[in-house]
Amino acid sequence: MVTTLGIVLGASLTLTMVALHFARGTEHATPDDISQKVLERRAESVHETDFPEPMNRSIGGGGAAAAVGGGGAEGELAEGDAEVDDDPAAIPDDEAEVYEVEYVKEGTTIEVKENTTLLEAGEEQDWDLPYACRQGQCISCAGHITDGGNSEQYVEHYTNEMLGEPELDDGYTLTCVAYPVSDFSIEMRESP
Ligand code: FES
């Protein structure tokens, strides 16, 4: 009698525990995809920007912040670059390098500073040299560097809207926007 009662009680208890287990299990409805919801929530908290972002920016990743922090020096450099005026004419006279330039047709070699165009240097000698726009937009002031190879080995063109690589390769230059970066010889009044 006692044994039968024990078995009945044990079975009832077991059934009750099983029923409670399943009942509790259904209380927590787990989203199908937790990670997707987290990513969407993070993306909503990240403001849009006007510049390209690293891939992980869209999910609020810390990688972007780490990259900026880690590359602080580079960031400052990039900003600095944007502010630098790369116009050779802006180089102070007392800091400008000086180069020997032979004006072949004039039969003279003169010193030309890196902040002075070949046209200006010639005009300072009172030579009557041709020009029109003085902005690299025509070809009136063209000259030919006779040392061989691309003219930009010898001069820096501040602007150049006329000469393509073939003409530069042949040694042609726009003297109104050409600043010397080396010694060389040039024939003025020579167009490609
Ligand atoms: S004068 Fe026009 S490009 Fe030099």
| Domain boundaries along the sequence of the chain | 39-46+53-83, 89-188
Q: Are 139 and 174 in contact (CB under 8 A)?
A: yes
Ligand 1 centroid from CA 129, angstroms: 11
pLDDT of residue 86: 84
pLDDT of residue 13: 54
Nearest one of 148, 178, 147 to 160, comparing CA atoms: 178
Domain 89-188 belongs to what topology? Ubiquitin-like (UB roll) (3.10.20)
**Whether the predicted pLDDT of 148 surpasses 60:** yes
Closest atom of ligand 1 relative to the 137 alpha carbon: 3
pLDDT of residue 62: 39
Rounded to whole angstroms, the Cα distance separating 110 from 100 reads: 6
pTM exceeds 0.85: no
pLDDT of residue 103: 98
Percent of all residues in the chain with a pLDDT value above 90, rounded to a whole number: 55
For residue 55, give Cα distances in angstroms to 42, 43, 61, 91, 161: 14, 12, 9, 41, 37
Mean pLDDT, residues 185-192: 97
At 111, the pLDDT band (50, 70, 90 cuts) reads very high
User: Is 137 a pocket residue for ligand 1 (Cβ < 6 Å)?
Assistant: yes
Ligand 1 centroid from CA 12, angstroms: 104
User: Is 132 a pocket residue for ligand 1 (Cβ < 6 Å)?
Assistant: yes
Give the tens place of pLDDT for each residue, 16-68: 554 445 555 445 555 555 556 655 665 565 555 454 444 434 444 334 333 44
Which residues lie below 8 Å from residue 96, measured CB to CB, with a gap of 6+? 113, 114, 115, 116
**Whether the predicted pLDDT of 128 surpasses 70:** yes
Mean pLDDT, residues 152-165: 97
Report the b/e string of 30-58 with b at 16+ CB within 10 A.
eeeeeeeeeeeeeeeeeeeeeeeeeeebe
Mean pLDDT, residues 165-185: 98
